[in-house]
Chain A
Amino acid sequence: MNDMADTGEQTIKKFLYVNRKAPYGTIYALESLEVVLIGAAFEQDVSLAFLDDGVFQLMKGQDTADIGVKNFSPTYRALGDFEVTKLFVEKESLEERGLSEDDLMEITYEDEDDDWEEKPSIHLVNRSELAAVMAEQDVILSF
């Protein structure tokens, strides 16, 4: 990080945000999303992981009108505009919870290196693949 301050040149690091909590019951999911959005300003190589109860954050059809809490789920679909385009969702976590990819929101981004083609941001990975994603990071932030 000192390199950045000293030279003014960009040092790009790989950041992984690990999401393991369901939304609404606790504040972790919303806090994570806020930190991701703030962090996006630093133009790092950002990935998000959703495992354990974190997969519930991406459920489609969330409607919080009757619990008096802001529905922040549409924000995940805006992540592509902040160049946050890699969302890794653990397959085993979905299955243990009676869910499949069809239960998740459709989240896409426009690839500037490929004529702005719309591509999916969500990548379903198994446990060992997610472990490999974790292993290749420089910084991991846990929520």
Chain B
Amino acid sequence: MSILHTVNKSPFEKQSLSSCVAHASHGDAVLMIEDAVYGAVSGTAAAAQLEENKNISIYALGPDLNARGLGEAKLAEGVNVVDYNGFVELAVEHDKTQSWL
């Protein structure tokens, strides 16, 4: 029973991303959307937490990255970029979704 976790708040303003990652289980996916995509930038405390958790897959929504001027070169290792279709696929692949608001 795997979960797709979505997070939409900046990790520098709210604890949502950190709490989400701390509660995600093996086989779960974490998808950063809206202001949460700032958590995908390499060299930050938020990215370090993502990188050290090898049990979960990490995704960021491309259109939200582009809107904020975050190119692939700025992203932390292990962050997979998906488009809206990829978002839907993730929702289908997992048994349920949990939104960290």
Task: Give the interface of A toward B (CB within 8 A).
Answer: 21-26, 52-53, 56, 59-67, 69, 71, 73, 96-99, 103
Contact = CB atoms under 8 A, between A and B. Distances in A.
Interface of B: 8-10, 12-13, 34-35, 38, 41-45, 47, 62-64, 66-71, 74, 83
A22 B10 contact: yes
B67 A22 contact: no
Given A53-B10, A59-B68, A98-B74, 18 more contacts: A22-B13, A24-B64, A24-B68, A25-B34, A52-B12, A53-B35, A56-B38, A56-B68, A61-B69, A62-B67, A62-B68, A66-B62, A66-B63, A66-B83, A67-B64, A96-B45, A97-B41, A103-B74
15 contacts: A24-B35, A25-B9, A25-B35, A26-B35, A53-B12, A53-B38, A62-B69, A63-B66, A69-B67, A96-B45, A97-B12, A98-B41, A98-B47, A99-B41, A103-B74
